[in-house]
Amino acid sequence: MHKVNRITQPKILSDNYEKWTSELIEQIALNNGDYSKVNDKYKNQYNQREIKESLKNMYNGCCCYCEGSISLVSYGAIEHFKPKSLYPELSFVWDNLHYCCEICNTTYKKSQWNDLLLDPSKDDISLYLSFNIHTGEYEAIQENERGKETIRITGINREKLVKKRRQMIAKLSFLNKNLDREQFFKYIQLLEKRYITVYKTFFETINGSIVI
């Protein structure tokens, strides 16, 4: 997980978010305040190709939480930082939308949110979370509550992710020690776009010891 710079919202959202929000709030009222009873066509108007593509580009095709590359066989999800079921008025607000893999979105984050959760487009993640290159896990810096709560809610230290990160670190170390320049640089070109925290931490740890 790392900080990204939010890009300009797509035109379809800036042109329609007020209308979509008004329609949604009206439908909630017509259903006696029960968001769950509102027809999906009012709740999911954010699910537009242009919006998803903008978020995908903003996160370089990777999940905003685990940094995993969202492959061609995965549709990816538009994640609402503050859940739309709890904050329907924010359903179509650009600053509340992120790009997320299905596992982070539906298995871990789901409809969880509180004031401690780190926002990758607003918070400087490096002030709260560090990456342990030996364990493959994120750690809350000085046991800060925002870091710990973000790890808990997003599940970024789940077993499969940790194993994948450790495999990447092992491969980087092997290629570097064996001075396989061609394979090494092919691999780092991949990682500098995906799993960027693993990539950055590896280079910070070896502190310039790579032979170019």
Residue 73 has pLDDT above 80, yes or no: no
Whether the Cβ atoms of residue 67 and residue 194 lie closer than 8 Å to each other: yes
Would you say residue 122 lies in a domain? no
What does the alpha-carbon distance between residue 208 and residue 212 come to, in Å, rounded to a whole number?
Answer: 10
Q: Is residue 176 part of a domain?
A: no
CB contact at 8 A, 181 and 114: no
pLDDT at residue 159, rounded to an integer: 95
Which range, of 133-142, 168-177, 202-211, averages the lowest pLDDT? Answer: 202-211
Q: Which tokens in the block code for residue 71? A: 């492959």
Q: How far apart are CA 75 and CA 71, in angstroms?
A: 8
Is it the case that residue 191 has pLDDT exceeding 90? Answer: no
Domain containing 48: what range? 11-113
Going by the DSSP 8-state scheme, the letter that residue 111 receives in this structure is: T
Average pLDDT, the chain: 89
Q: What confidence score (pLDDT) does residue 93 get?
A: 98
Q: Fill in the amino acid letter for 155.
A: G
Q: What is the pLDDT of residue 86?
A: 96
Confidence check: pLDDT of 209 > 60: no
pLDDT at 168 (0 to 100): 84
48 within a domain of the structure (yes/no): yes
What number is the average pLDDT over the span 197-206? 74
- pLDDT of 17 over the 70 cut: yes
| b (16+ CB within 10 A) / e for 117-131 | bbbbbebebeebbbb
The answer to whether the CB of 81 falls within 8 A of the CB of 113 is yes
Joined tokens for residue 49: 């190709």
> Is the predicted pLDDT of residue 104 greater than 80, yes or no?
yes
Whether 69 is covered by a domain: the verdict is yes
Residue 30 located in a structural domain: yes
| Tens digits of residue pLDDT in 108-156 | 999 999 999 999 999 999 999 999 989 999 999 999 999 999 999 999 9
Per the CB < 8 A criterion, the answer to whether 40 and 158 are in contact is no
Predicted confidence (pLDDT) per residue in 40-59, tens digit: 999 999 999 999 999 999 99
Q: Is 138 within a domain?
A: no
Mean pLDDT of 66-75: 74
* More confident site: 203 or 46: 46
Residue 199 lies in a domain: no
Per-residue pLDDT, 192: 58
Task: Give the count of alpha carbons within 13 A of 115, CB side only.
Answer: 0
As for how many domains the chain has, the answer is 1
Instruction: Judge whether 100 lies within some domain.
Output: yes
